[in-house]
Structure 1
Amino acid sequence: MRHLKRLYNWVLHWADTPYGTPALFLLAFAEASFFPVPPDVLLIVLSLSRRKRAFRYALVCTIGSVLGGLFGFFIGHNFWNIGKGILLNYVDASVIESVREYFIRYEAWAIGIAGFTPIPYKVFTISAGFFRVNLPVFIVASALSRGARFFAVS
């Protein structure tokens, strides 16, 4: 827990620097694919400190998150062979297939809900690539849900 607190304070530190906007982009990118700290905290601090730029910050955050989501997608897509073998050591193949079928059937909803809520988005971006979700559907659902979330927060 102490490490997360330090990480949280480190993120907030960027709000007081001229590098706040690039840091927001990088944080949104990283959080969508592998990093544990969401960009919302930095987005809120930046938006409150410069209200006229709030929508700009939301747009930067959205673009960073969607691009990071694509990175997560490609992580999942490229590690299918390795990941499937590892998963089969712990989970029956029928369970993996069942999850894949649900993910494909509700792909836009799954990505949209994960993108808008506090559910770890990165789990869904990697899973989307792993289960071969339709890429245009993934991009549109990500852009709409992440955009709605970040514009609402800002």
Structure 2
Amino acid sequence: MKNIMDDLWRSYQNCQFLLTQPLSPLLSLSIVTAHNPLGKTLSPSQNRLLDRQLQAKIQTFKQPYRSMITTSEQMSHMEKSWAIFFLGQEEALALGQAFQQLAIYHVEAGELSLMSCVEHDPRQVHLGPLYKRLKLVNELPELNR
């Protein structure tokens, strides 16, 4: 399991984000997904169900949020994600843990960090400016895989 986690952790560091509207470079936000809990690939319908549950939970925070796609650099793997503005780091980690995610992304003053949601694995790595990983698209791709 450790090798799988290490492989996933490395892949999480090489991500980009697809979105349909630009983000202010100085906002505080967290990026969370409900797809593929514990790193296990689920069917598209299972991921859509989890995504709807995550969106419903996000709405209870009464903070602005926006959908996006988190993708590998080669765009070979994509997951629907949510940018939640003004959500504290601890709240974001708890949300990731509630949806059995291995990690979340957190942004402070435009600087992106990857944070482990695994209790006994407090890894965190700074990934640099968020804007370098953002890609504006006309519409988000459908996730059928």
Shorter-chain TM-score above 0.5: no
Q: Which protein has the larger Cα radius of gyration, Structure 1 or Structure 2? A: 1
Smaller-chain TM-score bracket: under 0.3
Give 1 or 2: higher strand fraction: 2
Q: State the TM-score, normalized to the length of structure 2.
A: 0.28
Give 1 or 2: higher helix fraction: 1
Q: State the TM-score, normalized to the length of structure 1.
A: 0.26
